[in-house]
């Protein structure tokens, strides 16, 4: 799995789209037709990915929503970002 630096600005991949459903969301990758289901945490994370915010800025916003210590949130969100980049859902906005 790739490692994402906290200063990396993330954006949705060109062929990825998010649809909010019930208590979560689904992500569709148009090129493969693959659907990914997202829990509430992943949905909140993706809602903050805008191509302008760095991973660190996204984590700061999430820390206002979730009652968890910053170190744990940093670790969890870095792992989530790496997974989403590996799956082709997110990409580095500067790449």
- Asked if 24 contacts 86 with a C-beta cutoff of 8 angstroms, the reply is no
CB 62 within 8 A of CB 44: yes
Q: Where are the beta strands (DSSP E) in the chain?
A: 10-12, 16-21, 24-29, 34-38, 90-92
| Residue whose pair of structure tokens reads 């500067």 in the numeric block | 94
pLDDT score at 24: 84
pTM: 0.92
- Domain 10-88 of CATH type 3.90.930.60: yes
What residue segments make up the domains of the chain, in order of their start? 10-88
CB 70 within 8 A of CB 2: no
pLDDT tens for 4-38 read 999 999 999 999 999 999 888 999 999 999 999 99
């Amino acid at each position: 799995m790739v490692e994402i630096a906290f200063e990396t600005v993330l954006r949705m991949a060109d062929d990825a789209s998010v649809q909010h459903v019930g208590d979560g969301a689904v992500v569709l990758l148009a090129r493969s037709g693959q659907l990914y289901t997202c829990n509430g945490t992943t949905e909140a994370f993706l809602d903050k990915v805008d191509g302008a915010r760095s991973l660190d800025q996204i984590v700061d916003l999430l820390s206002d929503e979730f009652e968890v210590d910053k170190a744990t949130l940093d670790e969890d969100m870095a792992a989530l970002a790496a997974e989403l980049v590996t799956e082709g859902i997110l990409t580095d906005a500067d790449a």
